[in-house]
Amino acid sequence: MKYKSIMALALGATMLACNSQKESVETTPVIGKSTVKVENGIMTPEVLYSFGRLSDVQVSPDKSKILYGVGYVSVEENKTNRELFVMNVDGSDRKQITLTPNSENNAVWMAGGSKIAFLSSESGSPQIWTMNPDGTERQQISDIEGGISGFTFSPDEKKVLYIKNVKFGERTVDMYPDLPKASGRVIDDLMYKHWSEWVEEIPHSFVAEVTGDTIKTGTDILEGEPYECPMLPFGGTEQLAWNPDGKTIAYTCRKKTGLEYAVSTNSDIYLYDIETKATKNITEGMMGYDINPLFSPDGKYIAWQSMEHDGYESDKNRLFVMDLSTGEKKYITEDFDYNADAIIWNSDNQSLYMISCVEARTHIYKVYIHTKEINAITSGDYDYESCALAGEGALIAVRHSMSQPNEIYSVNIADGKATELSFENKDILEQLTMGKVEARWIETTDKKKMLAWVVYPPNFDPNKKYPAILYCQGGPQSTVSQFWSYRWNLQMMAANGYIIVAPNRRGLPGFGTEWNEQISGDYGGQNMKDYLSAIDAVSKESYVDETKLGCTGASYGGFSVYWLAGNHNKRFKAFFSHAGIFNLEAQYLETEEMWFANWDLGGSYWDRNNNIAQRTYANSPHRFVDKWDTPIMVSHGELDYRILASQGMMAFNAAKLRGIPARMLIYPNENHWIAQPQNGILFQREFFRWFDEYLK
């Protein structure tokens, strides 16, 4: 198919920029909003990459305006550029306030809503800038060596807490100054790599004075300590909080290194006194992840998320609240068998709002800290990912579904009614025909009920027969909710003429802790039976061609593909695995976060007395290669230090040596995900080329 103007590039300099920026804009294309034209109403990879990616919504202090960012992708430029927008809280008077070749991030209101602060790399490294709410009078106010990755102002805005990387450990050149060009790394302990990088720097948080329009170099609140704050690989400013009086900072930290770090998830919440620099651990003895502290508006309480068990990264995320005057801790969601995420305090200091996934839909709940009462605010086949306090009786929330990317909504607290405000992707969505998304409860082999999403092709005709693809979720503990993805987009798979079956098999949150915990130590067990129950149930329908079934997934989903390839009893005609685990014994010694391997795999494979571990490793996909009989495609990124690319290469080599049709897509410059636009388009084209070859 041909498309007109897949990604429009804005021309010329913007009047919003300062003189130095104008010169840059005149020579550098600005990536703007897409003007894609959709042919025949069908989603394609090019159309998918034309959506604006909305995030980071901020309500002004007087609750009258909304600030947010949108990322625009240019496939031609192979990059994403993020711009800022402001609109009234009712969605009116929407304005784009930046138009530059450098992304603007971490934007927040300041000075009572008369200014906006944000991060920009315009001057060469990420620094804090300010501007008026209409985008005028841009001014750089920080000049921190090496740049910063996030910031948050104190309530009176006289101080700022910013995040920057500091050196970790010794370099080879430190040991041998006469070998400055030596590239070897000398390693003495674990956690030398993490997710997608060699650990040579770690984030620290600094407190700095704000003097006029200048931010001075700050004081490291972990001066001399070799610990991450916030924590790698995903932590940001949500792991830091100011007390309303501006005298205390709460921060998240796991004060461990090396082997001790690699086997433990035990992080804590610390209170740092800015005046005395004294630090107090308020979660000592709480052994799992304790993260994301948040002070109540009156400063009397602090809330945070807490997991119970050390080493279990997918444990139930509990909501805790501490009375700072007495030190009393309360487990608020004790009688609520689901996760508490994205918490915010209500203005009454007696309640909070949180996001929680229940039965594969993620909604907003109100929680009362004294009675522990929990009430659902929203409902429907959607996922809410954040919310913020707005005017009287309202929240401003970000919502998506399998059929729509992120948009901003106003939510009436009394009845949960949601009104869309942003309409960022309205023009594209109006051109598309989306397939029906159906929730189906399927009986499992052990007589339980499992929710599976079935996504039908657009313009579905029940009198025809369609090929079907089983989607295997990664994580492994990651719900198949109403998610919107730019790689595993189920609507786009369906638009290519497939019925998609996406089960919430054992080991996924949102169905209670028992359902979630079952998978640990049972890789290749009940959850695999759940997959087969789902595809078997749907393939019995008259409109499914049961002779043309495919199977795909990434990470643990990729493991699932490899395992099913040797245990599917000829159900499937083609497999596609991305970043999957092929050999569990190799994975145990190749991965970095050993707490994950110890908990989910049951421990080391050499512990012959550990029955759980021995059962797990006996179920490794590589042990069933002798039963492989079906074409399989593998993709992997060579910068993936979570699941090394050697896992994918082993699987591909095994298939070729067995004489099975196989293909491999390897990315030298991608990690566990596929971040670069052209690589993403390549992935989608090869994905459908492979399945079309064997299922159509």
Query: Token pair for residue 458?
Result: 């657009």
Q: What is the C-alpha separation between 103 and 81, in angstroms, rounded? A: 5
User: In the Cβ-directed half-sphere of 324, how many Cα atoms lie within 13 Å?
Assistant: 21
Q: Is 403 a catalytic residue?
A: no
Helix (H), strand (E) at residue 57: strand 53-59
Instruction: Give the CA distances from residue 285 to residues 161, 239, 255, 257, 281, in Å, rounded to whole numbers and listed in that order.
Output: 27, 19, 14, 19, 10
Q: Is 384 helix (H, G, I), strand (E, B) or coil?
A: strand
Amino acid letter, 617 = Y
Q: Is 557 helix (H, G, I), strand (E, B) or coil?
A: helix
Instruction: Give the CA distances from residue 66 to residues 55, 297, 610, in Å, rounded to whole numbers and listed in that order.
Output: 12, 20, 55
Q: Is 335 a catalytic residue?
A: no
User: Given 314, 533, 555, 577, which residue is catalytic?
Assistant: 555
Q: Is 620 a catalytic residue?
A: no
Instruction: Give the CA distances from residue 175 to residues 171, 188, 262, in Å, rounded to whole numbers and listed in that order.
Output: 7, 13, 25
User: Given 522, 530, 600, 640, which residue is catalytic?
Assistant: 640
DSSP per residue over 445-493, as a string? TTS-EEEEEEEPPTT--TTS-EEEEEEEP-TTT----S---SSS-HHHH
CB 371, CB 364: distance < 8 Å: no
Question: Which residue bears the tokens 């809330």?
Answer: 303
Residues 431-463: b if buried by 16+ CB within 10 A, e if exposed: bbebbebeeeebebeeeeebbbbbbbbbeeeee
User: Given 363, 578, 636, 672, which residue is catalytic?
Assistant: 672
Q: What is the C-alpha separation between 208 and 227, in angstroms, rounded? A: 20
Note the Cα 187 to chain centre separation in Å: 30
* CA nearest neighbour of 100 among 205, 8, 30: 30
Instruction: Give the CA distances from residue 51 to residues 145, 217, 398, 473, 493, in Å, rounded to whole numbers and listed in that order.
Output: 35, 39, 16, 24, 17
CB 274, CB 284: distance < 8 Å: no
Residues 664-693: b if buried by 16+ CB within 10 A, e if exposed: bbebeebbbbbbbbebbbbbbebbbebbee
CB 166, CB 240: distance < 8 Å: no
How many degrees, rounded to 5, is the angle at CA 205 between CA 200 and CA 209?
135
Does residue 595 come out as left (phi exceeding 0), alpha (psi in the -120 to 50 range) or beta?
alpha
| Positions of E strands within 89-233 | 95-96, 104-110, 115-120, 127-131, 139-140, 150-153, 159-167, 193-194, 197-198, 201-211, 214-215, 219-220
Helix (H), strand (E) at residue 280: strand 279-281
* CA nearest neighbour of 62 among 444, 320, 390: 390
Query: Token pair for residue 603?
Result: 């421990």
* CA nearest neighbour of 296 among 315, 258, 324: 324
Q: Any idea of the CA torsion for 27, 32, 36, 42, to the nearest 10 degrees?
A: 130
Q: What is the C-alpha separation between 35 and 427, in angstroms, rounded? A: 9
> What residues have CB less than 8 Å from 20, skipping those under 6 apart?
122, 123
* CA nearest neighbour of 465 among 535, 408, 546: 546
Q: What is the C-alpha separation between 83 and 95, in angstroms, rounded? A: 11
Could you list the active site residues? 555, 640, 672
